[in-house]
């Protein structure tokens, strides 16, 4: 079932999760879901409560790990190896 944003619930949930994650760059979201930075910001604005959106924006603004071009060259992965335990 598609949401009002044209994505299914699972994809919408995953994009929101990726946007909240400190180590997942916007470029990863763009590769997987074809959403640029401003589209992710718009999606977050539409889906989160206003206070949650403001908290998220404050958190990601200027964060080097959210933009691949700003990352230290030694950081080659988007997540901590212990994040996804099987």
User: Which domain range does residue 21 map to?
Assistant: 9-68
Candidates 79, 76, 60, 59; CA nearest to 68 is: 76
With respect to residue 38, please indicate whether it lies within any of the assigned structural domains. yes
State the 10-residue block means of pLDDT for the chain, 86 residues long. 77 93 87 92 95 93 64 56 50
The total of structural domains in the chain comes to: 1
With respect to residue 83, please indicate whether it lies within any of the assigned structural domains. no
With respect to residue 36, please indicate whether it lies within any of the assigned structural domains. yes
pLDDT value for 75 = 54
With respect to residue 1, please indicate whether it lies within any of the assigned structural domains. no
Distance CA 10, CA 1 (A): 9
With respect to residue 64, please indicate whether it lies within any of the assigned structural domains. yes
With respect to residue 40, please indicate whether it lies within any of the assigned structural domains. yes
Candidates 21, 17, 12; CA nearest to 65 is: 21
pLDDT value for 86 = 46
């Amino acid at each position: 079932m598609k949401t009002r944003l044209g994505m299914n619930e699972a994809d919408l949930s995953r994009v929101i999760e990726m946007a909240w994650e400190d180590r997942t760059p916007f470029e990863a979201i763009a590769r997987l879901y074809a959403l640029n930075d401003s589209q992710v910001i718009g999606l977050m604005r539409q889906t989160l409560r206003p206070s949650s959106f403001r908290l998220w924006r404050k958190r990601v603004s200027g964060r080097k790990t959210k933009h691949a071009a700003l990352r230290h060259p030694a950081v080659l992965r988007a997540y901590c190896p212990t994040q996804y335990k099987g």
